[in-house]
Amino acid sequence: MRASRCLLAIVLAWLPVVAWACDLAPLPIVGGIGKLHGVSVSFGEADDALHPTAWQGPLRIAQGSAPACVVDDEVAIVEQPVMLGDGILYVPTYSGSNNRLYAVDTGNCRVLWHSGDFNGPTRFVHGRFVIGREQVQLDRRCRPVGMAKGMD
């Protein structure tokens, strides 16, 4: 009986976190194109035709029958994991040893937010991005929490 109460307390404690979670999904990229939830993204030329790990850009985003838009060319040399949720595309990029994470509006290709420069890979773990030594929490609308820098 006591174990049941502890389990119930844990579930109730996590309920607000789960209810407010952003539903991001990895965007699979095949042949330089990523498609998910009615969004199609062209990533441009790959670094390796058989086993790509990065794409040069420019990123072109199309949704439904709307005309495609092009993301600012500062969002270039894209690597995985590219994530999509609630109309926002999260795009990790690098140039030399500097990495940056961008949040792009899939409806108009505007950069909504970007991280500062960091070193190391971008990882998506337990509903948040890990970039360098920082963690980027997301709100239920898939926007960064507590990182207003660059956010529209």
Three-class HEC string of 88-147: EEEEEEEECCEEEEEEEECCCCCEEEECCCECCCEEEECCEEEECCEEEEECCCCCECCC
For the chain, 152 residues long, give each residue's pLDDT as a single digit of tens. 555 554 444 444 443 444 457 889 999 999 999 999 999 999 999 999 899 999 999 999 999 888 999 999 999 999 999 999 999 999 999 999 999 999 999 999 999 999 999 999 999 998 899 999 999 999 988 999 865 444 44
- pTM for the complete prediction? 0.82
What pLDDT is stored for residue 65 in this prediction?
85
